[in-house]
Amino acid sequence: MPDAALAALALPGFWWLAATIAVAGIVRGFTGFGSALIFVPVAGLFLTAPQVVATITLLGVASTAALLPRAWRQGDRGEVALLVLAALPTVPLGLAVMEHLDGEAVRWIVAGVATITLGALVSGWRSVRAASIPTLLAIGAAAGLIGGMTGLTGPVVILFYLAGQGAVQSVRANTILFLAALDVVIVTNLLLSGITTINVVWLAALLGVPYFVTTMIGQRLFHPSHERLYRRAALAVIALAVVAGLPIWT
């Protein structure tokens, strides 16, 4: 086995990361989102901010392979394309901010973003208006900035879709499509900037095995009629991850 792979296995907290991403995979497969909200706060206990961002975005490849075919058929690709277009210039800006922030500051930002998102979802807030093109572009830009800065690629878009009136099947599909595209954008920027190292690539590859398997399990569990369970299960696990990842524990 390559030295970089052995180093990843020997990383303090590796098995905690593996267990966390396995849980995140079930939630991601079932809901279409939530893996970063679960993994990033816990990963911040063991990895630097650049490593966290690089690992979760590389792991997105594993979940994309499992979820993209169905989402491609069911999603609104035109709407998602507008979101991704707006995120393109803000991802590198977010990465630049992340590189200049203290690791603990990034963890507090992660906790804050995750908590605000969770609170809005738990409150049951809903929007009755259809989103305009400027609104879609603003949402995509904000998602790109936060995703590049923290690795949390989904909160802004998740809140937007879950606050709307769309059917749960459409919400899930559009979220999967956007997160898949944004992962590609972030990984490309990471490679161009030199932030990603071979050790991080091997860490993501090793964690990608349980992630892919549990994502497939989560997708098999999904059914549009399970909307109430769909929301409650994801929110409960995300809440636990936010508490576990608070910087006050270390």
Phi and psi at residue 222, in whole multiples of 5°? -70, 135
Tens of pLDDT, residue by residue over 153-187, are: 777 887 787 776 666 778 778 888 998 888 888 88
pLDDT band at 128 (very low <50, low <70, confident <90, very high): low
- At 88 the pLDDT is 93
Tens of pLDDT, residue by residue over 19-59, are: 999 998 988 887 777 788 889 888 988 998 888 888 988 88
pLDDT of 227 > 70? The answer is no
Q: For residue 113, what are its two tokens?
A: 């973003």
- Rounded distance, CA 95 to CA 75, Å? 28
Weakest-pLDDT range from 112-126, 127-141, 168-182 = 112-126
> Average model confidence (pLDDT) for the chain?
83
In 3D space, the residue among 178, 173, 105 whose CA is nearest the CA of residue 147 turns out to be 178
Say what the pTM is: 0.75
Tens of pLDDT, residue by residue over 70-93, are: 888 888 899 999 999 999 999 999
- At 223 the pLDDT is 72
pLDDT band at 129 (very low <50, low <70, confident <90, very high): low
SS (H, E, C) the chain: CCHHHHHHHCCCCHHHHHHHHHHHHHHHHHHCCCHHHHHHHHHCCCCCHHHHHHHHHHHHHHHHHHHHHHHHHHCCHHHHHHHHHHHCCHHHHHHHHHHHCCHHHHHHHHHHHHHHHHHHHHHCCCCCCCCCHHHHHHHHHHHHHHHHHHCCCCHHHHHHHHCCCCCHHHHHHHHHHHHHHHHHHHHHHHHHHCCCCHHHHHHHHHHHHHHHHHHHHHHHHCCHHHHHHHHHHHHHHHHHHHHHCCHHHC
Tens of pLDDT, residue by residue over 187-197, are: 888 888 777 78
Provide the angle, in degrees to the nearest 10, between the axes of the packed helices 133-150 and 90-100.
30
- Kindly provide the b/e burial profile for residues 184-214, where b requires at least 16 CB atoms within 10 angstroms of the residue's own CB: ebbbebbeeeebbeebbbbbbbbbbebbbbb
